[in-house]
């Protein structure tokens, strides 16, 4: 992930460069970066951060579902973005033994069947066990509660990614 040290540099980026840098803040969701680009210039990083989050929070339910479905399944997905590979690797999700892998695979399948989108959790600072505990707990939720939780987790992931870019 590329980092940028000043708001002036961000404000000077071309549209292509801006989207290249910020397009995966929300997993494979370049339209949010496109909208944020069109709202430049930004006074500071906080304004950029809050603008990007507001764009996401004002998204329709259909757009949120598209964003959710752009996220990989934990531990079993093979085609990961650089950001997801790093995040899942830091949580050791790429080092599951057979039993853990099968458990993640079964939970992923069950969860997607129940909710229509993959299980989403901000894995930063968590380990496999904490993630599995959350997974087992949240799979019991009803759809509206889980939709709101997934939306909250996507916002956390995006905030972590934005902070990595701008710090």
pLDDT (tens place) for every residue of the chain, 167 residues total: 677 889 999 999 999 999 999 999 999 999 999 999 999 999 999 999 999 999 999 999 999 999 999 998 888 777 878 888 888 888 888 888 899 989 999 999 999 999 999 999 999 999 899 999 999 999 999 999 999 999 999 999 999 999 999 87
CB atoms within 10 A of CB 15: 12
Residue 34 neighbours by CB under 8 Å, 6+ apart: 15, 19
> The tokens of 40 are what?
């430049």
Residue 98's H or E segment, with its range, is: helix 98-115
Nearest partner of 84 among 166, 4, 24, judged by Cα: 24
DSSP 72: P
All structural domains of the chain: 7-61 (no CATH), 63-160 (1.10.3330.10)
């Amino acid at each position: 992930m590329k980092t940028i040290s000043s708001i002036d540099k961000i404000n000077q980026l071309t549209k292509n460069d801006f989207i290249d840098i910020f397009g995966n803040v929300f997993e494979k969701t370049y339209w949010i970066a496109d909208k944020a680009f069109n709202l430049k210039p930004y006074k500071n990083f906080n304004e950029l951060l809050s603008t990007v989050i507001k764009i996401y929070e004002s998204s329709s339910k259909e757009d949120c579902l598209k964003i959710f479905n752009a996220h990989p399944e934990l531990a079993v997905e093979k085609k990961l973005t650089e950001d997801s590979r790093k995040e899942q690797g830091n949580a050791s999700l790429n080092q599951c033994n057979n039993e853990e892998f099968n458990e993640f695979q079964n939970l992923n399948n069950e969860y997607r069947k129940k909710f229509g989108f993959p299980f989403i959790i901000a894995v930063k600072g968590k380990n496999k066990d904490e993630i599995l505990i959350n997974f087992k707990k949240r799979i019991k939720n009803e759809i509206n509660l889980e939709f709101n939780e997934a939306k909250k987790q996507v916002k956390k992931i995006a905030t972590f990614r934005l902070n990595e870019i701008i710090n």
